[in-house]
Amino acid sequence: MAEIAGDEAPTPPPPISGEVSTDPYTSIPASTGSNNPPLRTTKPGVKRLILTASVLLSFLVGLPFLLKSTEIHRSPLPSDAITGLAHRLHSAPPSFPCGLHAVFLRSVPDRSDASLTRRLEQSISAQLQLLPATSTAGNVSVSVTVESAGGCSSSSSSNVDSGWQCGTVTSADLVIGDEVFDELLHSALGSGRGDGSRVYTVVVVEVDDAEGMRVVVGKHRHAWVVGKADEVKAVSVIGKVFAKYFMNGGIEEGEAGIGKGEFMPVGSDGNVVLSFSLLNADPSDWVYDWDFEKIGERMLNPVVEALRPIAEINIESQVLYHTPKSSYSYSDDKLGGNVLSMGDIPFFVNSNEWHLDTSTSATGRSKVLQFVVYIPSARECPLYLQLPDGRLSKTNAFISPMWGGVLIWNPPDCSLDSKKTHGTRKKMSSQELMETIEIFIGQLRQLFGLKPSYLSQDMDMPTKFVVSEKGFTEWELDLLYRHHACSNLLSCLTTLESLSSLVRSLPRMIVMDEIGRQVELSLEAANLAQGNATLGISDSSAVHATRARALAEDAFFHPSIMSISYASIEHYFAIYMPFFAPVSLHVLLAAIKELKRYKAERAKYSAFLASQATSS
């Protein structure tokens, strides 16, 4: 231990009082008993301070780059335009102005003057005020034409111009039949108004020797009343025909139908697939096929063209086998077959065995309407559908709202004592297939909210309706166009408001430029639909409203929105704070500590300079 101690360097003696150390980093100690810090004889360096500040500065400079690299792209949505559309739709719901032209073909050769037409016009206008109008009906302009052997006079107070050509139609033309007379009236009315708005015409044909009155509603936009009636009765019938059928489609108060609930069997993208299926319940009994591509599509093409303004319709067909029903039926000898009650209808469709959803045309948000022809097996054939009042259904068919319809088709050779024919292959005849398609067209009318037929409709007098080969008359199509345009506009507004609210509630939500463009195009189409509605152009308004809804749905369900889970800004900080907070905190504390040290050393050096100046 002594040797180790002897190797140690001797401790240098303390400097002599009054000498100044030549060490540049030596501080002069303060006088004994003084609280002042030791003095520094050299100027403190800034290298450590610059190095620490540069590290801190690099963090501060890199912060904007970090924020930019994690920035969320948000295309600006026209929120003000959406709010403006909502204000217009809520304050002034879409309504379609139209015209009513009443024509009186009188058998009495009296003089038709302006006072008579003006009085009739005022009476009809007053009658319309007393009748319930549909929510989509706007201002109704009324005009009157009185034609007799003494001349032809029309009211001039209204701007309604139906294109009526005086002298073209007389009461003698009624003998040619209602269908031909309907086309004769259509040619006499010409093309109507050139601005695209709808004008409906009711012709009163006075026949002196007629027993009572009868009403015939044509397949275009006109109807006629035949018989002998006074002025008050004629005005009342004109108002009822216009309000009940042309405006409301024959739907009574409290009755389900168009405008009375949700009858929109159209996909949100405006596409509809009509899927027709022929179901053989037990192929071991018999196997039926059909020539649908040749006959069915030919009959349905006019329907597809008529409904094109509100839906893009695709048609497909298939034949399925081994498709038993789920509900039970019972044998009734009085009715001569097996009976299926209305209470068992909800259980008729066998979703486990009926593989109907094989559509290749249905894409995205398209709506598929199923139309099924069910051929029962031999042991349950014939199978009848019994109505609640005990009668058998004339069509032997039923519908399921928003799903489609089912027709129970009993083969011609089936009976209660039918025997198995061991899978005999047969084909539905052309007449049988045409009758089946006609029933399906009636079911399609019901799915769209119209009546399958108006045979039971009357107005306290015999009423007849001319059937259109399109399945829908022109005045029925106008009704569909109006209601679908209004419904699609409101649906478009709801979707756009939901999208705008969603974007505002999620600041970290990505909004692609394509979404902003789709919203702008949707608003543009909605404005066009609303503008056409104010002009009474229902078909164009329906087209633009359908496009507006489809674009709004495309924007709301854009893949960039659906594929990412968005979190709040707090979650964003929680992700990055564990990576950057510890390092940043240590760099900041080091910078603060170095700055304090530099200030302290600077204060020592300043004190030394001051003491030197005092001593000299």
Q: Please state the φ and ψ torsions of residue 609, each to the nearest 5 degrees.
A: -60, -35
Q: According to the model, what pLDDT value does residue 406 have? A: 92
Model confidence pTM above 0.75: yes
Q: According to the model, what pLDDT value does residue 17 have? A: 40
Tens digits of per-residue pLDDT, 290-319?
A: 988 888 888 899 999 999 998 889 899 899
* CA separation for the pair 528, 522 (Å, rounded): 10
Q: According to the model, what pLDDT value does residue 568 have? A: 66
Which two structure tokens, joined as six digits, stand for 514?
Answer: 């394509």
Tell me how far apart the terminal alpha carbons of the chain are, to the nearest angstrom.
52
Burial of residue 88 (CB within 10 Å: 0-12, 13-18, 19+) is middle
Query: DSSP for 309-326?
Result: TT-EEEEEEEEEES---S
* CA separation for the pair 555, 560 (Å, rounded): 10
Q: According to the model, what pLDDT value does residue 578 have? A: 83
Whether a cis peptide bond, with omega within 30° of 0, leads into 382 is yes
* CA separation for the pair 193, 337 (Å, rounded): 56
121: left (phi over 0), alpha (psi -120 to 50) or beta: alpha
Query: DSSP for 118-180?
Result: HHHHHHHHHHHHHS---TTEEEEEEEEEEEETTEEEE--SS-------TTS--GGGGGG-HHH
Residues of the chain with pLDDT under 70: 1-37, 70, 109-113, 133-136, 150, 156-162, 191-197, 210, 253-264, 358-364, 415-423, 455-459, 562-569, 572
* CA separation for the pair 10, 518 (Å, rounded): 89
Asked if 128 contacts 142 with a C-beta cutoff of 8 angstroms, the reply is yes
Alpha-carbon distance values, 403 to 248, 509, 550 (Å): 24, 36, 21
Which two structure tokens, joined as six digits, stand for 170?
Answer: 């007389």
- With residues binned 3-state (H G I as helix, E B as strand, rest as coil), the percentages for the chain, rounded to 5, are 40, 20, 40
Chain-centroid distance, C-alpha 10: 98
Which two structure tokens, joined as six digits, stand for 299?
Answer: 């009959």
Tens digits of per-residue pLDDT, 48-105?
A: 888 888 888 888 888 788 777 767 778 888 999 999 999 999 988 888 888 889 988 8
In three-state secondary structure terms, 420 is coil
User: For residue 541, which of 92, 96, 162 has the smallest C-alpha distance?
Assistant: 96
* CA separation for the pair 455, 451 (Å, rounded): 10
- Per-position b or e across 234-243, b if 16+ CB within 10 A of its CB: bbbbbbbbbb
Pairing of strands 312-321, 271-280: parallel
Task: Report the amino acid identity of residue 26.
Answer: T
Q: According to the model, what pLDDT value does residue 528 have? A: 95
Alpha-carbon distance values, 545 to 94, 336, 477, 501, 591 (Å): 11, 51, 15, 22, 64
* CA separation for the pair 149, 146 (Å, rounded): 10
Alpha-helix runs per DSSP H in 43-148: 47-69, 79-91, 114-130
In three-state secondary structure terms, 581 is helix
* CA separation for the pair 23, 16 (Å, rounded): 15
Q: Please state the φ and ψ torsions of residue 194, each to the nearest 5 degrees.
A: -80, -10
Label each residue of 523-577 as H, E or C.
HHHHHHHHHHHHHCCHHHHHHHHHHHHHHHHHHHCCHHHHCCCCCCHHHHHHHHH
Chain-centroid distance, C-alpha 376: 38
* CA separation for the pair 490, 495 (Å, rounded): 9
* CA separation for the pair 613, 610 (Å, rounded): 5
